Structure 1
Amino acid sequence: MPSRNMGKSKPTLLSWASRVTEAPARIAILCVAVLFISVSGGILIGKLFGPQSQEIELQVVNALAMPIEAEKPVAATRVFVPESPYAYNDYPVEARTEEIPLVTAALPIEREAVETMKPDPVIETLAVEKLTSEQPAWKRYAALAPPLQDKPLIAIVIDDVGLSHQRVEELNALPALLTLAYLPYAPSLQRKVELTRREGNEVMLHLPMEPSSPDADPGPDALLTGLDIEELRRRTIRNLDSFSGYVGVNNHMGSRFTADGEAMAVVMDIMAARGLLFLDSKTTSASTGYRLAVERGMPSVKRDIFIDHVIEDEAILKQLAKVEVIAERSGVAIAIGHPHPATIRALKKWLPEAKKKGFLFVPVSAVTALTFKG
Structure 2
Amino acid sequence: MRSRTERATAVVAAVVVAGLFFGVGLSQGWWLGRAAPPAGPSADPASRAVAVDDDAIDAGVRAALDRTATVVRVAASPRMMRERGQVYQWTARTVDIKARGRAIDLARQLDQHVEPAGAQILEQTPTFIRIGVRRAGLDLITHDIQLIPFAPAARVAILFDDAGGSLEQLDPILALGRAVTVTVLPGLRHSRDVAARAQEAGLEVLLHLPMEPEDSRNALGPGGVTTGMNDVQIAQIVATDLSQVPGAIGLNNHEGSKATADERVMRAVLQAVKSKGLIFVDSVTAPKSVGARLATEMQIRTASRAVFLDNQNQEDAIRAQIKRLILLALERKEVVAIGHATRLTPRVLGEMLVEFDRHDIELVPVSALVR
TM-score computed with the length of structure 2 as normaliser: 0.58
Contact 2:308 2:321 in 1 (8 A): yes
Which residue of the other structure, out of 325, 333, 336, is the alignment partner of 2:335? 333
Deviates more, 1:351-360 or 1:319-328: 351-360
Displacement of 1:262 in angstroms is 0.6
Identity %: 32
Displacement of 1:351 in angstroms is 1.6
In the alignment, what sits opposite 1:224?
Answer: 226
In the alignment, what sits opposite 2:11?
Answer: none
Which residue of the other structure, out of 321, 324, 341, is the alignment partner of 1:322? 324
1:304-319 aligned within 5 A:
304-319=306-321
Task: Name which one, 1 or 2, has greater alpha-carbon Rg.
Answer: 2
Q: Does 1:280 align with 2:282?
A: yes
The structure showing larger relative contact order (alpha-carbon pairs under 8 Å, at least 6 residues apart) is 1
Aligned mates of 2:158, 2:326 — CA distance in 1: 12
Contact 2:166 2:194 in 1 (8 A): no
In the alignment, what sits opposite 2:200?
Answer: 198
Displacement of 1:191 in angstroms is 2.7
Distance change (3 Å), C-alpha of 1:269 and 1:345: same
In the alignment, what sits opposite 1:162?
Answer: 164
Distance change (3 Å), C-alpha of 1:348 and 1:226: same
What is the DSSP-based 3-state SS (H/G/I as helix, E as strand, rest coil) of the residue aligned with 2:284? Answer: coil
Displacement of 1:145 in angstroms is 7.7
Aligned mates of 2:336, 2:234 — CA distance in 1: 29
Contact 1:151 1:358 in 2 (8 A): yes
Which string of whole-angstrom CA distances, capped at 9 and with x for unpartnered residues, describes residues 249-302 of structure 1? Answer: 100000000000011111111110100110000001111111111111110010
Distance change (3 Å), C-alpha of 1:277 and 1:200: same
Aligned mates of 2:363, 2:355 — CA distance in 1: 12
Distance change (3 Å), C-alpha of 1:329 and 1:163: same
Aligned mates of 2:249, 2:192 — CA distance in 1: 14
Aligned mates of 1:342, 1:273 — CA distance in 2: 36
Contact 1:181 1:205 in 2 (8 A): yes
Aligned mates of 1:143, 1:266 — CA distance in 2: 38
Which amino acid in 2 is paired with 1:152? A
4+ residue segments displaced more than 4 Å: 142-148
Aligned mates of 1:213, 1:148 — CA distance in 2: 46
Which string of whole-angstrom CA distances, capped at 9 and with x for unpartnered residues, describes residues 10-53 of structure 1? Answer: xxxxxxxxxxxxxxxxxxxxxxxxxxxxxxxxxxxxxxxxxxxx
Which residue of the other structure, out of 356, 359, 362, is the alignment partner of 1:360? 362
Aligned mates of 2:275, 2:348 — CA distance in 1: 38
Distance change (3 Å), C-alpha of 1:281 and 1:326: same
What is the DSSP-based 3-state SS (H/G/I as helix, E as strand, rest coil) of the residue aligned with 1:258? Answer: helix
Contact 1:305 1:323 in 2 (8 A): yes
Contact 2:235 2:268 in 1 (8 A): yes
What is the DSSP-based 3-state SS (H/G/I as helix, E as strand, rest coil) of the residue aligned with 1:177? Answer: coil
CA RMSD between the two structures: 2.0
Contact 1:248 1:276 in 2 (8 A): yes
What is the DSSP-based 3-state SS (H/G/I as helix, E as strand, rest coil) of the residue aligned with 2:264? Answer: helix
Distance change (3 Å), C-alpha of 1:298 and 1:151: same
Distance change (3 Å), C-alpha of 1:306 and 1:144: farther
Unaligned 5+ runs, structure 1? 1-141
In the alignment, what sits opposite 1:181?
Answer: 183
Contact 1:143 1:201 in 2 (8 A): no
Displacement of 1:175 in angstroms is 3.3
Contact 2:156 2:361 in 1 (8 A): yes
Which amino acid in 1 is paired with 2:263? G
Which amino acid in 2 is paired with 1:215? R
Displacement of 1:149 in angstroms is 2.1
Contact 2:309 2:318 in 1 (8 A): yes
Displacement of 1:174 in angstroms is 1.5
Which string of whole-angstrom CA distances, capped at 9 and with x for unpartnered residues, describes residues 113-138 of structure 1? Answer: xxxxxxxxxxxxxxxxxxxxxxxxxx
Deviates more, 1:278-287 or 1:354-363: 354-363
Aligned mates of 1:231, 1:248 — CA distance in 2: 19
Displacement of 1:341 in angstroms is 4.2
**Matched residue count:** 228
Larger strand proportion of the pair: 2
Aligned mates of 2:200, 2:282 — CA distance in 1: 26
Aligned mates of 1:164, 1:176 — CA distance in 2: 21
Which residue of the other structure, out of 243, 259, 264, is the alignment partner of 1:241? 243
What is the DSSP-based 3-state SS (H/G/I as helix, E as strand, rest coil) of the residue aligned with 1:350? Answer: helix
Displacement of 1:148 in angstroms is 7.0
Which string of whole-angstrom CA distances, capped at 9 and with x for unpartnered residues, describes residues 49-71 of structure 1? Answer: xxxxxxxxxxxxxxxxxxxxxxx
Aligned mates of 1:145, 1:204 — CA distance in 2: 19
In the alignment, what sits opposite 1:4?
Answer: none
Unaligned 5+ runs, structure 2? 1-101, 107-148
Displacement of 1:332 in angstroms is 1.1
Displacement of 1:338 in angstroms is 0.5
Displacement of 1:143 in angstroms is 11
Which string of whole-angstrom CA distances, capped at 9 and with x for unpartnered residues, describes residues 85-144 of structure 1? Answer: xxxxxxxxxxxxxxxxxxxxxxxxxxxxxxxxxxxxxxxxxxxxxxxxxxxxxxxxx996
